Amino acid sequence: MTLVSGSPVEAAQAHAQAAVPAWAQLSPEQKTILAPLEKEWDSLEPERRKRWISLAARYPKLTPDQQQRFQQRIQEWSKLTPEQRGQARERYKQLKNLPPEKHQELRQRWHEYQQLPEEKRQQLREQRPPAPPPAAGTGTQPPR
């Protein structure tokens, strides 16, 4: 174990840093998967690096399309604030169990939303969403 001449806090920080690998210490496969993070990797918090290593371990199980999207979105995800990541997870949890046809509908709605003029989208962002319709009869409420 390395002796650290600083305070206990510095020693703890040094230990935490040592627990997660620097970019140079990643395996070639991890480097390929996490390539979009190469420049910022060594400045990422240890917890974030651990999470990315954990996510990279799931990457080989994804389909080629999913792998492509995964890599394309790495930087976007990394730039979100912790609050935004939490918000995205919550919303994802709500929608992930919808039937396949509803996922298709969601993608269609997103496409339509993207086609709206920016002013309209901004207007929608500033509006409070109306109360959801009664669940009975619509059959469109997600499970749970």
Partner 1 sequence: MNEDDLARRIVGQLDRNLAELPASATQKLQAARMAALSRYRADLPQGRARALALPRWFSGRSLTLRLALPLAIVIASITGLLFWQMSAPHEDELDTGLLAGELPIHAYIDPGFDTWLQHTSHTPQQ
Q: Binding to partner 1 by residue 105, rule CB under 8 A?
A: yes
Residue closer to partner 1, measured from CB, 14 or 106: 106
Q: Binding to partner 1 by residue 8, rule CB under 8 A?
A: no
Q: Binding to partner 1 by residue 15, rule CB under 8 A?
A: no
The three-state secondary structure class of 144 is: coil
Residues 18-77 that bind partner 1 (CB under 8 A): 51, 54-55, 58, 62, 66-67, 69-70, 73-74, 76-77
| Cβ proximity of 80 and 60 under 8 Å | no
Q: Encoding tokens for residue 116?
A: 């709206």
Contacts 24+ apart (CB under 8 A), 16-19: 16/46, 17/46, 19/46, 19/50
Quick one: angle between helices 46-58 and 8-19, nearest 10? Answer: 10
Q: What is the nearest approach in angstroms of partner 1 to the Cβ of residue 12?
A: 24
Rounded to whole angstroms, the Cα distance separating 19 from 11 reads 12
Q: What residues make contact with partner 1 under the rule CB under 8 A?
A: 51, 54-55, 58, 62, 66-67, 69-70, 73-74, 76-77, 80, 84-85, 87-89, 91-96, 98, 102-103, 105-107, 109-110, 112-113, 116, 121-125, 127-130, 132-133, 138, 140-142
